[in-house]
Structures are given as C-alpha cells and as structure tokens.
Structure 1
C-alpha cells in the first residue's frame, strides 16, 4: 500500500501495527504555514496558547487542551497569531505489517467495540477536547520513544494502543451525544407542537410522554435542558400569551377567558395572569382598549 489511512479496510482485515515516524514539541510564534499533507496520520495537541488549524473544509480555532486527529493525506495548515503564541505536541504515525507478539490493530478492534466502530467512520479529521487523558498518554509515548533501550518497542506499542483506544472512545461518545441531542430536539419540537395544539385542554406531562412515546421523566429533563423551562412553565407562559391575545382582540367576557386557555379555576387564572403581566385580566383589557382609543385619535 502507498499509504495507510486510519479507515483503510486493510487495517481490520490484515494484521498491522502503528509506528511513529515523527514527533516534536514546538513553540510557534507568528506563524502561517502553507497548506500541506502527510502520508502519516497526525495528532496536533495544543499544550498552551491558541492557534488555528485550517482544512479545505473549515477553519478550526484551538486552545489549550484541544487536539486534532488528521487522517493521512488530509490537506491542512497551522496559523499562529503574533499576540498569542502556541506550544504544541505533534505526533505522526502510520501502520506497518505486524511484527512481534503485540496484538495488531485488527486484534484490538476485535476486542474493543469503540475502536472497531471508529475505524469504519472514514472521517478526515476529528477535533476533540482532552479530558486530561490524551496528553499524558502522548507525553509518555514521546518519553518512551526518546529512550535508548532496545526492548522499548513493546511499551511503545502499549502506549499507541492506549492512545488509539482512548481517542476512539472519545469520538464514538461524541457521536452518540450528537445523536442523542438530535433526537432530543425532535422530542422537544413534538412537545412544543403538542402544547400549541392542546393548550386549552387539561394537560399532564404523562399525556405528552405517551404522545411522543418516551418516558415523561426523561422528556421533562430534556425539555428543561433544551429550552430552560419546565414543560409546565412553558405551557403556563403559552396560556398567558393566548389569554392576552383573547383579552385584546375579542369580546369574550373576562370571567370566561380562563376556560378558553385550559385553566378551570378563574381565581388561579387571575393570579397567574397578574404574576406574568403585573396586571389583572380586567386591567389588561382596559389598558389595551385605552391604547387602541389613543391610537385611533
């Protein structure tokens, strides 16, 4: 093979092992790198400061603790502003036919579901925030690479395996969180639609959960997380807005407005309305009528 991609099928059908071809710590200051690509996979880790990594698809701002995993032959460049120097650790590695007794990438993928899934993604790059694990693994890897011992290869393979498994876990968890977030958005949207169509009815969270087919407790949590309101808070606010519209635009008696917005207690409705508008329903209707009269004059 001319080069080995992280996502080349041969990695999981034949026996290969990772091998580091270059690594370095470097302080970059006021630097604008031209676009280039490596045959190797590259990890660019920001130890301190800030930088920008441009790919052909996007410009990525990175700061301390961020790192990017670039697949082989992905065109990119580094930009460091003069006022914000950046210290980085870079490691470039590829894959060679397996030697020795350490498990191959194929063997590791067979035992680790995250790594197996990761190797099928085909992503040209991944930008991640280090939870403090990756830097220590990278640092230990570099320290081991610097040693002169002849028998250091097994430890290097251990560090590389740990690094790939850690990164694959992060990428897969991020994908899962993105899918969960997207699904949560769907549930929240369905809930809001339900509330707007049924605000004049007696509504309980259980009813909405049954409609969108998820547990009401989970629905309550994701709705609050997505909107900043509980479902009942959102419903109450919606009902008050509908009540304001009815008071302003219709001649429906004030004592009947509460029933039009799904609240069966007139006193409770009046208290809620005053809490939201600082006026009673009667005061609100009078204020709107006065504004209309002033405007007509």
Structure 2
C-alpha cells in the first residue's frame, strides 16, 4: 500500500521527519529504505529512480522537471543521476492528531480523491505537476524551516499550520492522481489493445514482455503495471495463455506432429512446452490429442 493503514484507520496527521533541497551530480545511490513515506520532487534536470519489486527485477522510473514520485515506507529504492538534477525531498510519517486539527481520516471522508490515495494498492506513484504540488510542498518546507529555526517544532512534527499545509499537499496530490487516472484510462485501454494485437501476431516467435513494451514504445515497467491493471494478468501470463490456446487448437484440428507444436507457438524448448501445457490443461500434449481424438470418434459413432 502507498500509505500505512494507520493513515485511514486512526485519527492521525502527517508529521515531517526530514526535508531538504539537494543538487545531485553524477550520483549512483545504493538501494535503501525508510520507515517513512518519501516525496521526491524534481525541480530541475532529470534522474532515474529504481524501486524494488517483490519477485522480480526493480522497476525503473525516469523523472524530469516538474515530476515527482511518492514512495511508500519500507520500500527499497535508489536514485541514479547520470547528469545533474535538483530535488526537494520530504519524508514523513503519522502522529496522533491534536485538538482542533482535523485528522487525515476525517478529511478523507469528505475528499474521495484523498481516500483513494491513502488506500492506493501500490508501492509508489509518479505524477506530473502543473506547479500546484510544488508550491504546496515548498510552503510546507518553509514553515518547517521557520519552526526549526525558532525552536518551535516539537517531537510531534509541527504545529497546526504544518498539519494544514500537509493536508493541503496530500489533497493536491490526491486530486492530481485522480485526474491523471481519469485521463489515462482511455489511453491505457488503447495501449493494452495494441499489446494484445502484437502478441496475437507474433506469439509464434521468441518474444518476451520487453518486446511487447518496445512494440508500443513504452517502458517495460510501465507496460507491466498498465497491462496488469487493465487485464488482471501480466503480459507473460497473457502470452503464455495465448500460446497454450493455440497449441490446443493445433493439437485438436491439425495433424502437426506433437514434437513440432512447440515451435508453432513460440516455445523453443519442447520439454518446457510440455510442462507449460500440462500446467494449463492438466494433460500432456499427447494425452490431450488422444482424448480429443477419442471424443471425435465417440461423436461419430453416435451419429
């Protein structure tokens, strides 16, 4: 999840742990994680963020001027800067909401976009900002600076104005994400259709998820998320299912030798093809063809 359960389950408010402006030059950071949620806003230049993913290679995100990423607490990630960039970073968690300051949960009851953001089933989110988020973020950091300089910020993360500025920031991020998802839905459907079309035309070749992404001119990590969110399956799962359906058709309707079927559906290894086919159908290719032949013979006898 993008935010910890406490953010929407209890009466808490955001509390800043760390915040800073930073100029990065030709820097390669090792993977690390925070106990806090982190916002990394790119003010100038470009950079890459690699975010670790369970059971697979890290996802690679490129940020350019005016874009930012929100990374969930506990998620390993790293920064890669090949040239130079300037960033504004804020790391924050949640503290008990004080009297007179609305909790994030209370605000989420009135703001649907905020409720969706708090419970987003992702480990990070990347958004492009029309300057609204930057001004809210900068205002928050300046207030935190002023409090720290005057010794007015305690261990709870700040006073009521900090809480209000944090609330404004999260609501702006939530609305921006809501707008981006609304605008992206038709485009996402188009990309998924193009991916499926490419796979249907090239399933007999040794193609992989990265080849599908290249066919639609998108980053493999982005296509992976897009395809999974739209279809409920990964590209690899869809491609494997498509190949197995084609194999069933060839076994049922043609006399192509079973030993050659794997080549017809783009699975180079016969042994791997047999294992995949049995996993999907519960039968080996030989058993499937024999069973189907028996059914056809029985149907002919009945007629």
Q: TM-score, normalised by structure 2?
A: 0.56
Counterpart selection for 2:32 from 36, 55, 60: 36
Equivalent in 166, 172, 176 of residue 170 of structure 1: 176
Pick aligned residue for 2:50 from 50, 54, 58: 54
Instruction: Name the Cα RMSD after superposition.
Output: 2.2
Aligned counterpart, 1:106? 105
Residue 78 of structure 2 is aligned to residue 77 of structure 1: yes
> What is the TM-score when the length of structure 1 is the normalising length?
0.57
- Higher RCO structure, 1 or 2 (CA under 8 Å, sep 6+): 2
Query: Within 2, Cα distance between the matches of 1:162 and 1:53?
Result: 26
Q: Deviations over 1:184-206 (max 9, x none)?
A: 78999xxxxxxxxxxxxxxxxxx
Q: In structure 2, do the counterparts of structure 1 residues 32 and 184 end up closer, same or farther at CA, with 3 Å as the change threshold?
A: closer
> In 1, are the aligned partners of 2:21 and 2:87 still within 8 Å (CA)?
yes
* Inter-CA distance 185–24: structure 2 relative to 1 (3 Å threshold): closer
How far apart, CA to CA, are the structure 2 residues paired with 1:16 and 1:147? 23
Q: Which runs of 5+ in 1 are unaligned?
A: 189-297
Equivalent position to 1:159, from 161, 165, 175? 165
In the aligned structure 2, how far is the partner of 1:52 from the partner of 1:163?
Answer: 23
Give the match for residue 128 of structure 1.
Answer: 127
Q: Is the 8 A contact 2:51 2:77 kept in 1?
A: yes
CA distance in 2, matches of 1:90, 1:112: 25
| Number of the residue aligned with 2:64 | 63
Unaligned segments of structure 2, at least 5 residues: 53-57, 195-303
Counterpart for residue 22 of structure 1: 18
| Residues 79 and 100 of structure 1, relative CA distance in 2, 3 Å threshold | same
Instruction: Tell me the matched-pair count.
Output: 182
Q: 1:10 aligns with which of 6, 15, 29?
A: 6
Deviation at 1:100, TM superposition (A): 2.8
Which structure 1 residue ranges, 4+ long, deviate > 4 Å from structure 2? 182-188
Q: How does 1:1-297 map to 2 (within 5 A)?
A: 6-56=2-52, 57-81=58-82, 84-148=83-147, 150=152, 153-182=159-188
